[in-house]
């Protein structure tokens, strides 16, 4: 949080700082002025310090936004769409959050679902289920060696339009990676923060390798093993189908 202009020095009115008006000997007057000056400075320091402490506490109490982080089912989401899910948070602010589930591959290819002039390799790629909200909504993550308009992570961007996808398909780059999703995971204002307080999710930094190069069925257990600890190791070995237990 930056220091707001509202807390500038003019919040302390000069009218509230007065010196005695009576005539005194020069020596006593100088002494009193020094004492009052010290008192004023001390008062200001106390008020400013209190303000900084107050806002420091507010900053500590404010939950961090999670854009660029992965959310993992920590074992509390059994029976829901998010059982064993790994969600990339693409946007998170005071108005809510938007994410894509990375490890829910559908049984369809991009070519099965989109009628567009796309490279054959892209048409044959797997279409992923990004989440339970608006299951027909299109989103795609893309990366390259250098992505000037990256808006999720360095060299990782998200787009939602078919025209943008066609343009990407036409611009050849051997390092280009694209992953398409239908649907998304969405949270209203304060909803994700509430879920984090209830410890519904584990968090882990996202990486291009986890987004594009790790097989979807291995992302969740691989991250848990990276996090370490016997609890995470045990959790990583739990089956997707609870009837196998």
pLDDT tens digits along 9-24? 232 233 232 333 333 3
Summary count for the chain: helices (H), strands (E)? 8, 9
- Which structure tokens are listed for 58? 């507010």
Residue boundaries of the structural domains of the chain: 5-61, 69-244
Over residues 74-103, the mean pLDDT reads: 93
Which of 216, 218, 224 lies closest to 72 in space, CA to CA?
A: 224
Is the confidence at residue 236, as pLDDT, over 50?
yes
Structure tokens belonging to residue 2: 């930056």
Query: Among 103, 110, 170, which Cα is nearest to 139's?
Result: 110
Q: What is the mean pLDDT of the chain?
A: 78
- Cα–Cα dist 245/235, whole Å: 13
Q: What is the mean predicted confidence (pLDDT) over 32-47?
A: 48
Sign of CA dihedral 163, 164, 165, 168: positive
Lowest mean pLDDT among 25-29, 114-118, 158-162, 238-242: 25-29
pLDDT at 63: 55
Average pLDDT of the segment spanning 38-44: 45
Q: Which one is predicted more confidently, 242 or 188?
A: 188
The pLDDT assigned to 40 comes to 44
DSSP string, 94-114: TTEEEEEESS-EEEEEHHHH-
- Lowest mean per-residue pLDDT among 23-27, 93-97, 134-138, 204-208: 23-27
Q: Under a CB-based contact definition with an 8 Å cutoff, are residues 76 and 200 in contact? A: yes
pLDDT band at 32 (very low <50, low <70, confident <90, very high): low
CATH architecture, domain defined by 69-244: 3-Layer(aba) Sandwich (3.40)
Q: How far apart are the first and last CA of the chain?
A: 48
Greatest mean pLDDT among 42-46, 75-79, 138-142, 195-199: 138-142
Work out the pLDDT band at 213, boundaries 50, 70, 90.
Answer: very high
In this model, does residue 49 exceed pLDDT 60?
no
CA pair distance 16, 44, nearest whole angstrom: 12
pLDDT tens for each residue of 134-173: 999 999 999 998 888 899 999 999 999 999 999 888 886 7
């Amino acid at each position: 949080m930056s220091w707001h202009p509202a807390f500038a020095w003019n919040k302390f009115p000069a009218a509230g700082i007065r010196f005695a008006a009576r005539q005194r000997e020069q020596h006593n007057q100088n002494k009193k002025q020094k004492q009052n000056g010290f008192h004023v400075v001390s008062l200001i320091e106390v008020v400013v310090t209190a303000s900084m402490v107050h806002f420091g506490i507010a900053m500590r109490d404010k939950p961090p936004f999670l854009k660029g982080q992965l959310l993992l089912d920590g074992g509390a989401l059994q029976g829901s769409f998010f059982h064993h899910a790994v969600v990339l948070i693409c946007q998170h602010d005071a108005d809510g959050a938007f994410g894509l589930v990375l490890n829910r591959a559908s049984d369809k290819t991009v070519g099965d679902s989109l009628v567009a002039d796309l490279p054959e390799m892209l048409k044959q790629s797997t279409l992923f289920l990004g989440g339970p909200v608006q299951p027909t909504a299109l989103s795609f993550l893309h990366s390259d060696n250098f992505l000037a308009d990256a808006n999720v992570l360095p060299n990782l961007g998200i787009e939602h339009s078919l025209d943008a996808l066609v343009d990407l398909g036409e611009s050849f780059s051997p390092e280009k990676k694209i992953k398409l999703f239908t649907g998304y995971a969405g949270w209203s204002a304060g909803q994700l923060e509430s879920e984090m307080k209830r410890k519904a999710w584990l968090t882990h930094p996202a990486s291009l390798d986890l987004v594009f190069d790790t097989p979807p069925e291995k992302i969740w257990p691989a991250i848990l093993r990276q996090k370490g600890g016997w609890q995470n190791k045990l959790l990583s070995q739990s089956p997707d189908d609870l009837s196998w237990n």
